[in-house]
Amino acid sequence: MKLMLISGANGQVGSYLAKAYKAEGYKLALLYHNRCERIKQYEADPDCFLQAVDLADFNSTQKAVYDASAFFKEPPSALIHCAALRSYDAKSLAYTDPQTFTEVISTNILSSYHIVRALLPQMIEEHYGRIVLFGSDVSRKGLKQGSAYAAAKSAIVSLVKSVALETIGTNVMINAISPAPIETNLEEDFQGEYLEFRRKYFANFLSSNPGVKLISRAEIKFVVDLLINSEIQTISGQELFMTGGLN
């Protein structure tokens, strides 16, 4: 039974993956920021490790990875990094708040760097690892009123490509999944002006592209399954777009 680490595990995608992989018999290290209501049922499970962590802080992230490895007496063999911070001000760049822009950029990029940095040496030493980070389809098309988020996602994909070059021959595979809008319950996570922004964005995506669909969490898991498969030996440094049916 392999150990999988899921960061952002209380999010709608992270908690879905946690439930699915728990049912498949994985041991799980579940990292969350503040809230854990979607994964709280695993607190007493001996095959699960839950810990709150600020992924924007390297020392906290490294400690969480160390604590998880110590709890299970083995390092994680797979990382699914689901944590993300969106451009919650929903403003065009000309009118963004510099502090908000900086927070969105730095939180997304640094959390990705910190979690990969904390795990990568162990994976290289073990000569095995599967890492999946989440980009977004906005990395290739941009995001109106969300430039910080789009820029951060593009940077994360570049990080993936760079790490893939650095880990050739180590049996560590790192890839990015870049989905179009994901089918989630927006009201559970957003409110106010940003909730309205997200609703309009989703509605515009569907109305502007007849026949397309929102990306299901089940479909995301199918792609994650592929990328963490031990038989995969040559897929690394890739950005896999999930378009909802668009070319």
CATH of the domain at 81: 3.40.50.720
Euclidean distance between CA atoms 182 and 208, whole angstroms: 16
Amino acid at 170: T
Residue 18 maps to a domain: yes
Mean per-residue pLDDT, 215-238: 97
pLDDT tens per residue across span 95-107: 999 999 999 999 9
How far is CA 225 from each of CA 58, 96, 130, 163, 221, rounded to the nearest angstrom? 28, 38, 10, 20, 6
| 213 φ, ψ (degrees, to nearest 5) | -130, 155
Euclidean distance between CA atoms 170 and 237, whole angstroms: 13
What b/e readout covers 194-221, taking b as 16+ CB neighbours within 10 angstroms?
beebbeebbeebeeeeeebeebbbebbb
Residue 19 maps to a domain: yes
Cα 126 off chain centre by: 23
Residue 163 maps to a domain: yes
pLDDT at 128 > cutoff 80: yes
pLDDT band at 201 (very low <50, low <70, confident <90, very high): confident
Query: Angle at Cα 174 formed by Cα 170 and Cα 178, nearest 5°?
Result: 170
pLDDT at 212 > cutoff 80: yes
pLDDT band at 239 (very low <50, low <70, confident <90, very high): very high
Euclidean distance between CA atoms 50 and 48, whole angstroms: 7
Residue 131 maps to a domain: yes
Which of the pair, 89 or 124, is modelled with greater confidence?
124
Residue 38 maps to a domain: yes
Q: Is 34 helix (H, G, I), strand (E, B) or coil?
A: coil
Secondary structure letter of residue 239 according to DSSP: E
pLDDT band at 93 (very low <50, low <70, confident <90, very high): very high
- What is the residue-averaged pLDDT of the chain? 95
- Which pTM does this prediction carry? 0.95
Residue 211 maps to a domain: yes
- The partner residues of 7 in beta bridges, in order of sequence, read 31, 81
Give the total number of structural domains in the chain.
1
Euclidean distance between CA atoms 156 and 191, whole angstroms: 27
Q: Look at residue 88 in the predicted model and tell me its pLDDT.
A: 85
Residue 247 maps to a domain: no
Structural domain span for residue 196: 3-242
pLDDT band at 216 (very low <50, low <70, confident <90, very high): very high
pLDDT band at 42 (very low <50, low <70, confident <90, very high): very high
Residue 30 maps to a domain: yes
Q: Look at residue 1 in the predicted model and tell me its pLDDT.
A: 61
**Using CA of residue 213, residue 84, residue 100, residue 116, what is the dihedral sign?**
negative
Q: Look at residue 90 in the predicted model and tell me its pLDDT.
A: 86
E strands, 20-65, in order: 27-32, 48-52
Which token pair is 220? 């995301």
pLDDT band at 44 (very low <50, low <70, confident <90, very high): very high
| 231 φ, ψ (degrees, to nearest 5) | -75, -15
Mean per-residue pLDDT, 91-96: 95
Q: Look at residue 75 in the predicted model and tell me its pLDDT.
A: 96
pLDDT tens per residue across span 74-85: 999 999 999 999
Euclidean distance between CA atoms 132 and 239, whole angstroms: 10
pLDDT band at 8 (very low <50, low <70, confident <90, very high): very high
Return the percentage of the chain with pLDDT > 70, whole number. 100
pLDDT at 186 > cutoff 90: no
| 27 φ, ψ (degrees, to nearest 5) | -85, 140
